Structure 1
Amino acid sequence: MPSLAAVTASNASWKPAYIPVCVFVGGTSGIGEGIVQAVGRHTAGKAHIFLVGRNASAAQRILDALPASEGAVREFVECDLSLVASAKKVAADILARQGRVNLLVLTAGAISLESTITSEGLEKSMAVWYYSRWAFVDGLLPGLKAAQARGEDARVLSMLNAGKGKAFDVSDLGLKNPLAAVKGLGDLRETGAAVATYQDLLVQVRVLPPSSTGTYMPQGYAARHPTLTFIHSAPGPVNTPLYSVSTSAEVRAAGDAIHKATAAEAKTIQECGEHQLYAILNAPAGVSRTGPNGDDIGLESIEAKEGDVETLWVHTEGVIHGL
């Protein structure tokens, strides 16, 4: 497990000869903010940074604190991530203006005990945690490929809970039933484990060794674009406002308890940002899963059946392209 000093030194060695285009979906607070700060530090501000979310004032505070660099783009892009159409539009706008994307970092999420169906017919939490993330990868894929064609970094990180997934029900891929039945954080944690598997499959990790060699094979994005880098990360305990901003008193109270229980090991968002940037910059082409310190945790224990992987892909592609 690399130390904070080791990952910081490694990140400091990142000296791209170009100005990287970095898109942060959910970068206006928490871990996303920490990664933005790390990118700003290690590029001395020489990066085009797009913060996608809904909190304009928070985004401006973060952008204003980055090192100044002539010609660097600093932009907040408003987006309602509970609506896939909004995510698709923002991705298309960024692609049209920049033409290339070097880093796509997906950290958006919220915790709620209330289940709401959006105007698009999706469960709101799933729209934020999964469908909109998928839409950004899908929409910015041409930009990632364009960056790679120029000999530049082309990397995607989706952060949730790598290695903590569970099997899912193919008859309810939108998870409407379990989310509607949530009565407390225990239920939400169980459903969240299924979403963690979805994130494994978003970056497209294969479930079981399908060949006589016993090697793990990527599906979906990593299989279709094996020279790009796709990562699902687990940040571990981090001192973020994820729980404290919830409208649920139960969630806020649980967050207080969790923060107290993990105080000795929890990272600050700045520390976590360094470890997550290390994961982004050091993962090889193809698919990886990384842990709290940014190190590889392997592809074992992916909780899905072989046929279910393609079923989820077809379902998600249909949802995204149908909106």
Structure 2
Amino acid sequence: MAHTLTQAREWNATLKSARPELVALFVGGTSGIGRSTAIKLASSIARPTVYIVGRNETAGAQVVEEMKAANQNGSYSFIAADVSDLRNVDTVCQKLKSNIKALDLLFLSCGGFTFSKQETDAKIDVNHILRYYSRMRFIYNLLPSLEAAQSPRVVSILAGGKETKIQEDNLDLQKEFSLSTSNGYPATMTSLVFEVLASEHPSISFLHVFPGVVATPMMKKSMGSVVGSILSFLTIPISISMSKSGEWNTFLATSAEYPAKNASTGEYPGYYLLNYNGNDATNKALMEQLRKEGFPNTVWKHTLATFDRICA
């Protein structure tokens, strides 16, 4: 169901007593949605442990300082890494697992918009790596740490509910790359794989969230300062501030309304395709069609094969 911002804030205000400790990893947390959510979460939990992963060490240090200012009772760390290389993802995960016993929250928001293809050494577009393969590699590596937590959750900020039809021979976007496919494929693949993972790992809840139009620096970074500035100005009437986005995402990351599949209170799907306000965004007809065509397992098998090719 949809929630108001007031309801989200009221929930967040209960967290210090209801959930005094929480261990979280933010991938893409040095700017934009990840940054605002990390800071809000740090201020909402009594004794949080927060790890931030990103490329920019200066920005990472600034986020750590902002979290300390928001709550001096937490533990905050920055891990510098270029996660467009899946081997770097493996290194980060090994480092994290050596420092924690369990992971309560994995929050993924790396990547941005793109108009042109830029291939990595793995022969896959860098943004497709960031928005899909890198995120899935983090999940895959950290499943044991998540399963060791009491109420673990994975949140991927991308385009829940914005799925499209896909082709099995274009999952890596080698056959066809366009603005439409580069945005639709990672969103669709995420939703399909979350269905598989929720079934195979029923103690973890998986949220794929469309964050709305958020006033972040992403447009300028992705489209250039001139075009990005114009688009940022034009979207002001419908945009959500980063502060409000942080409130919403802290709510989604912790709310009891999105339980894992095996929650003791009943049987749940364990995966959720949501708008920024928590409203169900599932395109039921399209998802059912993709399910009948076997795409959930097809996409997951492709993902594992890609991991083997790149990381072996």
Provide Cα deviations, 1:186-245, integer angstroms capped at 9, x if missing partner. Answer: x414431122101212322xxxxxxxxxxxxxxx21010122110000011110011112
Q: Which residue of 1 aligns with 2:259?
A: 284
- 1:94 paired to 2:96: yes
Q: Which residue does 1:273 correspond to in 2?
A: 246
SS of structure 1 residue aligned to 2:21: coil
Choose which of 163, 166, 171 in structure 1 pairs with 2:164: 166
What is the letter of the counterpart of residue 43 of structure 1? I
TM-score (norm 1): 0.84
Match of 1:193 in 2: 184
Q: Whole-Å Cα distance in 2 between the matches of residues 17 and 125 of structure 1? A: 35
Match of 1:121, SS?
Answer: coil
Which one-letter code corresponds to 1:28 in the other structure? T
Matched-pair contact (CA < 8 Å) for 1:232–1:288: yes
State the secondary structure of the residue aligned to 1:296: coil
Distance in 1 of aligned mates of 2:193 and 2:81? 21
**SS of equivalent to 2:89:** helix
Q: Which amino acid aligns with 2:191?
A: D
2:263 corresponding residue in structure 1:
none
Query: Between the two proteins, what is the percent identity of the paired residues?
Result: 27
Contact map agreement 1:53 1:77 (CA 8 A) in 2:
yes
Answering whether residue 142 of structure 2 is matched by residue 140 of structure 1, we say yes
> Where do 1:4-19 residues align within 5 Å?
4-14=5-15, 15-16=17-18, 19=21
Distance 1:19 1:86, change over 3 A: same
1:304 corresponds, among 277, 290, 309, to 290
Match for residue 238 of structure 1? Answer: 214
Q: Which amino acid aligns with 1:261?
A: L
| Alignment partners' CA distance in 2, 1:299 and 1:98 | 37
Find out whether 1:203 has 2:187 as its counterpart: no
The answer to whether 1:227 aligns with 2:207 is: no
Q: C-alpha offsets along residues 258-295 of structure 1, whole Å, 9 cap, x if unaligned?
A: 33333122111110111112122221211111102133
SS at match of 1:110: coil
Sort the Cα spacing of 1:280 and 1:68 in 2 relative to 1 into closer, same or farther, 3 A. closer
Runs of 4+ in 1 over 4 A off after TM superposition: none
* Pair 1:304–1:261, CA change in 2 (3 A): farther
- Seen in structure 2, the aligned counterparts of structure 1 residues 253 and 190 have a Cα distance that, compared at 3 Å, is farther
For 2:173 and 2:109, locate their aligned partners in 1 and report how far apart those are by CA, in whole Å.
Answer: 20
**Could you say which residue in structure 2 is the equivalent of 1:184?**
none
Distance 1:291 1:131, change over 3 A: same
1:69 equivalent in structure 2: 72
State the distance in 1 between where 2:227 and 2:131 align: 20
Q: CA RMSD in A?
A: 1.9
Asked if structure 2 preserves the Cα contact closer than 8 Å seen for 1:279 and 1:290, the reply is no
Letter in 2 for 1:304: L
Q: Which residue of 2 aligns with 1:293?
A: 277
**Aligned mates of 1:5, 1:18 — CA distance in 2:** 21
TM-superposed deviation, 1:253 = 4.6
User: Aligned partners of 1:34, 1:83: CA distance in 2, in Å?
Assistant: 25
TM-score, reference length from structure 2: 0.87
Asked whether the 8 Å contact 1:22–1:102 carries over to 2, the reply is: yes
CA 1:191/1:304 → structure 2, altered by over 3 Å: closer, same or farther?
farther
Cα separation, 2, equivalents of 1:275 and 1:125: 25
What are the superposed Cα offsets for residues 123-177 of structure 1, whole Å, 9 maximum, x if unpaired? 21211111010000011110111113xxxx2010011011111111111211123
Q: Distance in 2 between matches of 1:130 and 1:165?
A: 13
SS in 1 for 2:277: coil
Paired amino acid for 1:175: L
Q: Retained in 1: the 8 A contact 2:169–2:175?
A: no
User: Is the 1:37–1:270 contact (alpha carbons within 8 Å) kept by the matching residues of 2?
Assistant: no
Between the aligned partners of 2:174 and 2:226, the Cα distance in structure 1 is 25
The runs of 5 or more residues in structure 1 that have no matched partner are 180-186, 205-219
